[in-house]
Amino acid sequence: MIKLALVGDIGSGKSYISKFFRYPIFNADFEVSNIYSKDRKCYRKIKKAFSKSNFSFPIKKKELINCILSNNKNLNKLSKIIHPIIRKRLNIFLKKNKSKKVVILDIPLFLENKLNSSTDIIIFIQANKNEIRKRLFKRKGFNKKLFNLFKKIQLPLYIKKKRADFVIKNNFSNKLEKKSVNYILDQVLK
């Protein structure tokens, strides 16, 4: 199985690009959302860890944002609860798809959490900063303070790009991105 990991800036279009590969996708953001809405065990851990915060089940995005912004250390504390669950789900995904030629890993903190192995192929998604900002500001519930906190825990983009085996320039047009995806698949499946 070939693991293709998509890395890049917040809002660069990793999930958008991942769909062009037409192989099974592990989308960490989707999994996190699923955990918050369905995992009662996780909810209890979060409620215990943040006893001063007001959480209800399913956990609402606004409750999380308020908790994270109330104390700079809360994001790290929350990550220590969520990341092990994501790792387990990733392992289940990989076992389930072990007979597939290729799987796509759409995990925002892939390099930061040292999820990569030497055989993984890293693809850096590059997008225009102004285009990213425009797209992020259109997102429902976008919070600039939260965005800046997440940026602080990410590796600088030049390091991600340097570690990448391939770069896809994403201009959100479909044509160029599909061509880049097809080129990468041709290269890795040889």
Sketch the domain layout of the chain as residue ranges: 1-24+102-190, 29-96
Any bridge partners for residue 167, and if so which?
124
Q: How far apart are CA 67 and CA 60, in angstroms?
A: 11
* pLDDT at residue 176, rounded to an integer: 82
At 38, which amino acid appears?
A: K
Q: β-strands 25-27, 102-106: how paired?
A: parallel
* pLDDT at residue 137, rounded to an integer: 80
DSSP class per residue in 18-57: HGGG-S-EEEHHHHHHHHHHH-HHHHHHHHHHTTTS---S
Query: Candidates 1.25.40.10, 3.40.50.300, 3.40.30.160, 3.40.50.150; correct CATH number of 1-24+102-190?
Result: 3.40.50.300
Q: Quick: pLDDT tens for 75-125.
A: 999 999 999 999 999 999 999 999 999 999 999 899 998 888 888 999 999
DSSP 8-state class, residue 160: H
* pLDDT at residue 168, rounded to an integer: 95
Averaged pLDDT, groups of 10, the chain, 190 residues long: 95 93 96 96 94 89 89 91 95 97 95 87 93 80 81 92 95 85 94
Q: How far apart are CA 189 and CA 72, in angstroms?
A: 44
* 119 Cβ contact partners less than 8 Å away, ≥ 6 residues apart: 3
